[in-house]
A and B are shown apart, each in its own frame.
Chain A
């Protein structure tokens, strides 16, 4: 498991943690039942406050990605793969709706946006 925190990022630290753990779970790098470091241990490793790691874990719990068992620790939750995929699709859809709205504001044509997307698919790693 690997988490890298940037102190220069505009993104709050707890969000950086949530995002990285979420990605590892969704991409299957962290399997169901895998133990996560304790909040105090993670705080120590990343040299950040306990409250920050606690908040990150609470957010992951809310998203149903991890479960915390008292005095045992936190683990990757059992995932309903279909549900998970659906949830991710909805997030992408919401972002695309934003893109469509912004494009209309600028008077961009559908083809122009499509061309942009094609280029991005090739260029973004």
Chain B
């Protein structure tokens, strides 16, 4: 099947930051979490995908088509939801939608009204009186009403309470039910992704760390904790993001590097995505200091 998104060797340099050789792809019917610490390059990548920034080199294809040459056509089928309110504050959503709807050929007013109802959005209050969660839901309602096949969400859950975040996850499941649409969900709050994400793309300091199925990633690592006296040179080398403290150590270990001598000498826990992000970034910083 045709891929929703395909990025190959994407590069973009700024004075003090560079995105280097980013490559990943997304098939229809799945949710991809796009993670990394602040300043990793997540928003830059998304702006490049949306052609809001011009790339230096590399290839971006959306629905199998070049994202610049077919920009207009492609954008008809993209729903873009981001952190900031990009609507006119002094309008109600009813008036705002009157302005937005004509931009989309496939606008479905009945569907739009259905979502406004479902998301319990007030039709006549001014957008500036909306909470963050309401603005995000409105963005999603707009995206869903022009039958977007690719929903890009840049930090959609930042600043939202757990109830709305949980509602959002239900909506996202709804979107992928018919196997034609996909979602790219960028966030540094990985808790939401522990459950819902099918794939995780992780970037750090402008570089790819990995882009793989989430279950596979979670199975590839373990968090280990133990007494510092077991930290031999050989074991230290295998540990990722080692942190030593007064009464022991903690680190991450790739399951393929498991050492039987550790058996019964360490506490082993399955990691979540946050652990993987923290230990990986810490390891990267330690290496940077060493070299």
Contacts and interface: CB of A to CB of B under 8 A. Distances in A.
A72 to B, nearest CB: 14
Interface stretch (A16-24, A49-57, A98-106, A110-118): A49-57
Interface stretch (A36-44, A58-66, A88-96): A36-44
A40 B31 contact: no
A43 B45 CA distance: 28
Contacts of B195: 47-49
B263 to A, nearest CB: 16
A73 interface: no
Interface residues of A, number: 16
Given A40-B176, A44-B173, A55-B215, A49 B29 contact: no
Contacts of B30: 50-51
Contacts of B16: none
B177 A49 contact: no
Interface string B81-103: 00000000000000000000000
Contacts of B174: 44
A49 B216 CA distance: 12
Interface in B181-224: 195-199, 213-215, 219
Contacts of A51: 30, 198-199, 213-215
Given A12-B219, A41-B177, A49 B169 contact: no
B98 to A, nearest CB: 33
A40 B198 CA distance: 11
Contacts of A47: 169, 173, 195-196
Nearest to A14: B215
A48 B198 CA distance: 9
A50 B176 contact: yes
B244 interface: no
22 contacts: A10-B270, A12-B215, A13-B215, A14-B215, A38-B177, A40-B29, A40-B176, A40-B177, A40-B179, A41-B177, A44-B170, A44-B174, A44-B177, A47-B173, A47-B195, A49-B198, A49-B215, A50-B29, A50-B31, A50-B176, A52-B215, A55-B215
Interface of A: 10, 12-14, 38, 40-41, 43-44, 47-52, 55
